[in-house]
Amino acid sequence: MRADAQAQPNIALVKYWGKRDPVRNLPAVGSLSVTLDALWTRMSVELDTRRREDSLSVNGSTGDSMLPRVSDCLDRLLGAARPKAAIVSESNFPVAAGLASSASAFAALVVAASEAASLSRDRLTLARYAGAASGSAARSLFDGIVELSACDDEIDVRSIAAVDDWPLQVVIAINDEQPKAVGSGVAMLRSAATSPFYASWIERQAGDLDAARRAVAERDFAALAAVAEHSCLKMHSLMWTSRPPVVYWNKATLACMETVRALQQDGYPVFFTIDAGPQVKAVCLPGASEAVSAVLSATDGVRTVVTSGLGAGARILDAA
């Protein structure tokens, strides 16, 4: 009863920040993202009735700090009476550093575990289980450009453009590979409780989602750039105005934003977005990615640059 699955991280263009129901981990707002192809997490889940405890290995080391969240996710998916599991996770990028490693990890986990248990669950159901563990993980079940709707009691998730419909590129400038000091779950609750801007963030999200959906339907890059940068800066304003404040940026984050502004002034179709970490993701049209990558690589404080196209949703690699 073993299965291997792969999922890629996704990057939100209209951000998710805040929880409607912290216990069920339901998001307070919808979001819109792109699923990547160059970064991946491969997850092997082996269910064994003789095992007494779950075990987790992350990139060759014991993943004890993540194990409770992983075990809870398996309990919800397979029931508390499930066999215990040996879980092995490998990623080709730094984990917990604002590169959406929890998204690819939980998306791959639910796909591998349901296959190992021979459950046939549709993609949306698996996305809901992944989302209960990490809100953004629900989006990594789907390919291309993905919209998550935050309904009252459940989430809905679907791909709104396939990879070839609009082959955007994402150039990721990695500025610091250390795990973040404050997890996004804790930071979101803090923003909801203390940021004076939280209510207006919630109120305006539907308008941002409409604008982004329309930009995708019309392949209007400038319109997508405008709403995505605005959403990113609003989310970081919530973090900065929380008490105590949450600041994920470093000097290189600002330097990369200036680099993107200079590229825009030179006419390149590119915009930035930043998540719960210092890395800057520059989204561009395919013809611009080489120039964007070259200039970001030469920006002060940038350690590595990775370029990715859009990719597939989580899927089974192998089952035994």
Site residues for ligand PMV per CB under 6 A: 12, 15-16, 31, 102, 134-136, 184-185, 275-276
Burial of 244 (0-12, 13-18, 19+ CB in 10 A): exposed
**Token pair of 263, please?**
């590229």
**Token pair of 302, please?**
């940038």
Specify the residue, 235 or 260, whose C-beta has the smaller distance to ligand PMV: 235
Kindly list the strands in the beta sheet with 315-319, ordered across the sheet, starting from the edge strand earlier in the chain: 61-62, 55-58, 84-91, 41-48, 2-7, 315-319
Least Å distance, CB 317 to ligand PMV, is 23
Cα–Cα separations (whole angstroms), residue 64 to 67, 79, 81:
5, 21, 21
C-alpha R_g of the chain: 19
Least Å distance, CB 180 to ligand PMV, is 10
Least Å distance, CB 11 to ligand PMV, is 7
How far is 251 from 259, CA to CA, in rounded Å?
Answer: 13
How far is 189 from 22, CA to CA, in rounded Å?
Answer: 8
Specify the residue, 134 or 299, whose C-beta has the smaller distance to ligand PMV: 134
Specify the residue, 34 or 284, whose C-beta has the smaller distance to ligand PMV: 34
Specify the residue, 9 or 269, whose C-beta has the smaller distance to ligand PMV: 9
34: which strand partners?
A: 11, 145
How far is 54 from 67, CA to CA, in rounded Å?
Answer: 8
Smallest CA-to-CA distance from 58 within 75, 43, 37, 73 is with 43
Using alpha carbons only, give the angle 259, 283, 141 rounded to the nearest 5 degrees. Answer: 145
Least Å distance, CB 184 to ligand PMV, is 4
Specify the residue, 15 or 42, whose C-beta has the smaller distance to ligand PMV: 15
Specify the residue, 78 or 133, whose C-beta has the smaller distance to ligand PMV: 133
Angle between helices 67-78 and 123-133 (to 10 degrees): 150
Least Å distance, CB 50 to ligand PMV, is 34
Specify the residue, 114 or 184, whose C-beta has the smaller distance to ligand PMV: 184
